[in-house]
Chain A
């Protein structure tokens, strides 16, 4: 079975400052990893995904994440945040079987301070 731990429930950061949202996973098999963003009263939107290959993954809106197998981590980063990045961010994991269930972390709320 897989599980996901998002270490911070809330992260405040000043506008134009860098940010890192932490995610660790647990699995006895290799996994696919995802970051989703949820804006207020909206569904989830995929930011980026790691399926295989390069461990540094670039996504939409200037976000990137790095898969670290030895530390079982998949932290999300952005070098300079904007007020529009205010949202809930979810890390997720899936077994390496296409179409299998996706297991989500509890989410990290990103607060952008002016």
Chain B
């Protein structure tokens, strides 16, 4: 069974440019998470979906970040415009609601 798939693995962009990350969760998993991981830190939740509904986006900086999960499957996370401080690893995870989340390999974003 395929795990959580994220793309791209790495992205380098100039500040003020837009960027988008894509996540394909494990089939059948209704819950999808986007986490931000800064160097040397634990993951911090950005947004959580139950099917297509964003049920917790309180930590998402809505002035520049947006996310969507159309049809309750794949999800995209967008930053526009990117800032230097957005350089981090963006992790996607999914869960079928049994207390275990499965993580993708992450997208490492570098803003220069």
A positions within 8 Å CB-CB of B:
4, 9, 32, 34, 36, 41-46, 49, 51, 90, 92, 94, 98-107
Contact = CB atoms under 8 A, between A and B. Distances in A.
Contacts of A36: 103
B99 A104 contact: no
B99 to A, nearest CB: 5
B31 interface: yes
Contact of B99 (A44, A98, A105): A98
A47 to B, nearest CB: 11
Contacts of B93: 43-44
Interface stretch (B13-21, B39-47, B63-71, B73-81): B39-47
Contacts of B56: 101
Contacts of B40: 9, 106-107
A90 B97 contact: no
A36 B33 CA distance: 16
Contacts of A103: 45
B30 A90 contact: no
> Number of contact residues on B: which range applies?
20 to 34
Pairs A-B, 6 closest by C-beta atoms: A104-B42, A43-B103, A98-B97, A99-B31, A99-B97, A44-B103
Interface in B67-112: 91, 93, 95, 97-106, 108
B99 A101 contact: no
- Name which of B40, B43, B104, B106 has the most chain A CB atoms within 10 A of its CB: B43
